[in-house]
Amino acid sequence: MSEESTYYVPEQSKYPIAAATGFGLMAYGAATWVIDSSNPYILILGTLVMTVVMCMWWNTVITENIQGLANAQLKHSYVLGMLWFIFSEVMFFAAFFGALFYLRVIVNSWLGGEAAIGIFDDTPTDAAVANNALLWPGYETQWPVMETPDQAANGDAAIFKGPDQAMSFPGWANILSWLPLWNTAVLLTSSFTVHIAHTGLKNNNRKQFVTWLGITVLLGLIFLVLQAEEYIEAYQHMGLTLNSGIYGTTFFLLTGFHGAHVTLGTIMLMVAFFRSLKGHFTHDDQFGFESAAWYWHFVDVVWVGLFLCVYVLD
């Protein structure tokens, strides 16, 4: 609730229209580019405009904060904005997790002519049996899907061919060479380090804050490098690509969007890091850092879900 009348409402701003223009160019450019890959120029232009505007916009917000224009109430608006933005991100991932569960549990059973879940149908429905027998003869329910329904029915003429090797748990003997485990370790650790940094800031321990924030950024970068390594491995040695049926589809989309969010989170933490070097943030004025930290915890939680549902559970 408001108690004072000094809520800062900027009189006018050129940033929104510039950002909207950049965003529009990005959308138009992205569509142009997926249709004609030789024309990425509008997309690049839009991205540039957007990047420049975002930098200037946030720079202005930071300056306003330093000038003391942002009162407690306005800061609370920022907090609410960030929290609900993270909630919307949760729902974005929910769509992909939901798709994964539906595909794994229900669709996969029906394609193989089996019953899906006990409470719905104990015995396979006629439709599921016919679906398997008439459309995808020979397909057996399996996860990871190493042989797609297309392959089962059409052999070598299939368009969608399963991967040679999946990313699942390779057995205890090979556990140390299993990249996802290292990635989990790195990301979980980074969630702790960002918390240590936060504690440092709360206790006015600047050195602890800056050091551990720097370490968190570093861990974020290591995670991204490892994930790039994992993708290279998948494409070059495991035959696991976007085209390798539903396993490759869900694997790359879920981990890919997570990776994109880690990238975004790392950039946010990096900005917070450079600001901390300039002496920004105090124990009672730390929204810029705190929001990055919340975002970081969010990508971490998503990773735990991914690790379980995409990698571990067979």
Partner 1 sequence: MAHGPATLADGWKAYISRWVFTTNHKDIGTLYLWFSFAMFILGGAFAMIIRAELFQPGMQLIKPEFFNQMTTMHGLVMVFGAIMPAFVGLANWMIPLMIGAPDMALPRMNNLSFWILPFAFAILTSTLFMEGGGPNFGWTFYAPLSTTYAPESVNFFIFAIHIMGASSIMGSINIIATVMNMRAPGMTYMKMPLFVWTWVITAFLLVAVMPVLAGAVTMMLMDINFGTSFFNAAGGGDPVLFQHVFWFFGHPEVYIIILPAFGVVSQIIPTFSRKPLFGYSSMVYATAAIAFLSFVVWAHHMFTVGMPIAGELYFMYATMLIAVPTGVKVFNWITTMYKGSLTFETPMLFSIAFVILFTFGGFTGLMLSIAAADMQYHDTYFVVAHFHYVMVAGAVFSGTAAIYYWLPKWCGKMYNETMGQVQFWVAFIGFNIAFMPQHFLGLAGMPRRYADYGLQFADWNMVSSIGAFIYGGAQIMLLFNVVMTIRKGKPVVEDKVWEGAEGLEWTVATPAPYHTFEKPPEVK
Among 38, 67, 68, 88, binds partner 1 (CB under 8 A): 88
Among 209, 223, 247, 294, binds partner 1 (CB under 8 A): 247
Q: Which stretch binds partner 1 (CB under 8 A): 152-160, 183-191, 216-224, 294-302?
A: 152-160
Between CA 205 and CA 282 the distance in angstroms is 10
Nearer to partner 1 by Cβ, of 52 and 80: the residue is: 80
Task: For residue 71, state whether it binds partner 1 (rule: CB under 8 A).
Answer: no
The helix or strand, by DSSP H or E, that contains position 32, with its residue range, turns out to be helix 15-35
Task: For residue 176, state whether it binds partner 1 (rule: CB under 8 A).
Answer: no
Task: For residue 248, state whether it binds partner 1 (rule: CB under 8 A).
Answer: yes
Nearer to partner 1 by Cβ, of 223 and 247: the residue is: 247
Among 190, 249, 266, 276, binds partner 1 (CB under 8 A): 249
Neighbours of 304 (CB within 10 A): 13
Q: What DSSP character marks residue 4?
A: S
Nearer to partner 1 by Cβ, of 159 and 267: the residue is: 159
Among 209, 212, 252, 273, binds partner 1 (CB under 8 A): 252
Alpha-carbon distances, residue 5 vs 13, 73, 76, 287 (angstroms)? 21, 10, 15, 22
Torsion angles phi and psi, residue 282, rounded to 5:
-130, 180
> Does residue 138 come out as left (phi exceeding 0), alpha (psi in the -120 to 50 range) or beta?
left
Q: Which stretch binds partner 1 (CB under 8 A): 81-89, 272-280, 286-294, 304-312?
A: 81-89
Task: For residue 52, state whether it binds partner 1 (rule: CB under 8 A).
Answer: no
Among 94, 232, 267, 277, binds partner 1 (CB under 8 A): 94
Stretch 131-150 residues interacting with partner 1 (CB under 8 A): 135-136, 145, 148-150
Cα torsion 53, 54, 56, 58 to 10°: value is 160
Stretch 14-33 residues interacting with partner 1 (CB under 8 A): 14-17, 19-21, 23-24, 26-28, 30-31
Task: Tokens for 54, please give them.
Answer: 């975002």
Task: For residue 98, state whether it binds partner 1 (rule: CB under 8 A).
Answer: yes
Alpha-carbon distances, residue 143 vs 106, 237, 240 (angstroms)? 12, 20, 14
Between CA 238 and CA 164 the distance in angstroms is 5
Between CA 132 and CA 111 the distance in angstroms is 5
Closest CB 106 distance from partner 1, rounded Å? 8
